[in-house]
Amino acid sequence: MRHSMTLRPRAQAGHTSVLLLAVMTASLAAGGVGFWLGKHRIGDVEVAAVKPLAPSPGDAVAGADPTIGELDALGARVGMLQAEIMRINALGQRLVEMAGLDQDEFDFDNPAPSGGPDGATLRRSSVDNVGQDLAKVLSELDDRKRKLGLLETLIMERDLKRHTTPEGWPLRVGGVVTSKFGYRRHPITGRYSMHKGIDIAAPTGTDIVAMADGVVIFSGRKGGYGNIVELRHPNGLETRYAHNSRNLVREGDVVRKSQVIAKLGSTGRSTGPHIHFEVRRNGEAVNPMQYLDLSHKSRVARL
């Protein structure tokens, strides 16, 4: 059960990275088109614009060249294109950092690499054609920006879920599971009873850490548990850390995953230093083994 839960976040991260690669490639391609248009095709228009033009009767009356107005409008569109590319680059850079991708591979500070053979046939472009191309690029950039925004939200939700779901190991170092979840012969009373958590033996004073982000709903002494810390997490989950020698958090505290919350001990009904770890879903105890990182074989004793 634990193994499947471990693979799921990795699979999600893999799919997210593939999707991020596809969207970013498209946005870089759009940026490259804009860069190419600005460098080559617009240059052709500007060269054509400075050539002497035979004035038309309409020009003589109006006293102005209509090409100048068209170029002004084109320049405004180029400015819009540059602004959109800057926004896309900023968002893309943030997503690269959030997803942990190689920043050298996904470089948003420089134009996308491009090239071509010498002697390629060039076609002269009109102002209308270039304007239409720019409008198309602007539309594509707007679509890429929207998709990158959605992707950013998905990455944030994935990371939030990963930090608020109990996962890992409740001790900073060491420890071995000495009693599992389920019915067992009680080590003190000798009676056959339900064990609602697991016991992990370790030296007294070992750091006990939170298995996920959460809020402390109880910190104190409680019957056979001895000193216990109870944390509440999203989706109706709670974790309990009992038999502590000392609690380091108070009720109402907000704790983060891997934060030290107590010191291991042997308070309450206990035969030696260990942590009693419980997971409850909607108030009912569930098997904590599914939330533990058992990749280290030494963490489970031969019972």
pLDDT 10s digits, 140-171: 777 777 777 766 666 666 666 677 889 999 99
pLDDT tens, position by position, 43-82: 444 434 334 444 444 444 445 566 667 767 776 777 777 7
Q: Mean of the per-residue pLDDT values for the chain? A: 74
Q: Are 219 and 251 in contact (CB under 8 A)?
A: yes
> What is the Cα–Cα distance from 36 to 199, expressed in whole angstroms?
65
Tens digit of pLDDT for each residue in 84-120? Answer: 777 777 777 777 776 666 666 666 666 666 666 666 6
Instruction: Flag whether pLDDT at 38 surpasses 50.
Output: no
Query: Taking CA 17 as the corner, what is the angle to CA 11 and CA 18, rounded to the nearest 5 degrees?
Result: 95
Question: Does residue 286 or residue 83 have the better pLDDT?
Answer: 286
Please give the residue that has the higher pLDDT: either 135 or 11: 135
CA nearest neighbour of 244 among 230, 258, 232, 259? 230
| pLDDT score, position 164 | 82
Q: What is the reported pLDDT for 168?
A: 93
The ranges assigned to domains in the chain are 2-164, 176-299
230 near 216, Cβ under 8 Å?
yes
Select from 248, 295, 264 the least CA-distant residue to 199: 264
Reported residue count of the chain is 303
Confidence (pLDDT) at 121: 64
**Any idea which fold 176-299 has?**
Glucose Permease (Domain IIA) (2.70.70)
231 φ, ψ (degrees, to nearest 5): -115, 140
The residues, any chain, with a CB within 8 Å of residue 41's CB and separated by 6 or more, are 125, 130, 133
